[in-house]
Amino acid sequence: MTEYPALQPPFLAQIDVEALEPSARAQHPPRILLLYGSLRQRSFSRLLVEEAARILQRLGAETRIFDPRALPLPDATGPDHPKVQELRALSLWSEGQVWCSPERHGAISAVMKAQIDWIPLEVGSVRPTQGRTLAVMQVSGGSQSFNAVNTLRLLGRWMRMITIPNQSSVAKAYTEFGDDDRMKPSAYYDRVVDVMEELVKFTLLTRDRADYLVDRYSERKADGRVAVEVALGAAAMDHEAGV
C-alpha cells in the first residue's frame, strides 16, 4: 500500500461554509459591462451587444457599453490615457461582463484583444477582472463557428473570471438584424436571451462571495497568512481535544 507523505507545509483544508452564505447581500442591480470588437459603422458585434444590453436591462441589470474608438493600441501610450482609464474604471465598476467579437481569420479581432490587453490582471492589490462573471459571444460573416468564443473563454480564464457555461455564436450576422438595427426573432435571438439570463443568475449567485471564491492558498502563503491559519487551526484542534 502506498504511503503518502504529510502535506508540507501544513495548511487548513477546512472550507468556511459561512463565507459561502454572506450575512448581507448587495441590493443594487447587477452591474454588467459589455465590450464589442469592431469599429465598423454598422458593427454587428456592437449591434449584438446593444441587443444583449436591452435583455439585461429587462432582467433587472444595470449596463454600460464601452466604446473602443480612440482606444490606443496596448503599449502605444501609458495607462494614464483617458480611454484606458475609462475602460479600467468600468471594469472595476462591473460585477459581470459580456465580451462579443467578430471572427477574423479564425480568431477574435484586434479591437477586442486590445481592450482585454489594456485591462491588467492586477494593479497593486486591485484586480479589475478577478471573480467577475463573464459571458462570451461572437458574430460571423459566414457559417457557424466557435473559434472566437473559444478564444474569449481562454482569455476569461486567464483573467480569473467566472465564465458561464452558455455562449452565443451568430452565423451570417448580416442576415440577423433588420434595417432598424434590431435583432430579428430567431433561434439565435433566443440563445442570446438564454446567455444573458444565465449571466445574471451567476452574477447574483457569486458577487457577494467573489472575494472568498478567489482567495487562494498560494497567495495566502505568499502574504504570510498561512502561518496564522495553521496556528488558529492547531488551537482549534487542541480546544476540541480538550487540551
- Residue 218's CB is within 10 A of a number of other CB atoms, namely 8
d(CA 74, CA 116): 9
DSSP 118: H
Find the radius of gyration of the CA atoms of the chain. 21
Confidence at residue 75, expressed as pLDDT on a 0 to 100 scale: 92
Q: Which CATH class is domain 28-208?
A: alpha beta
Cα 177 from chain centre: 26
Spell out the domain ranges in the chain.
28-208, 216-243
C-alpha cell at 86: 475609462
Place of cell 497567495: 219
Euclidean distance between CA atoms 12 and 123, whole angstroms: 28
Residue-by-residue pLDDT tens, the chain, 243 positions: 666 666 555 555 567 777 777 777 888 999 999 999 999 999 999 999 999 999 999 999 999 999 999 999 999 999 999 999 999 999 999 999 999 999 999 999 999 999 999 998 887 767 889 999 999 999 998 888 899 999 999 999 999 999 999 999 999 999 999 999 999 999 999 999 999 999 999 999 999 888 888 877 777 777 776 655 555 555 555 555 565
Q: Report the distance separating Cα 158 and Cα 225, nearest Å.
A: 25
Classify residue 5 by its DSSP letter: P
Contact between residue 35 and residue 49 where contact means Cβ atoms under 8 Å apart: yes
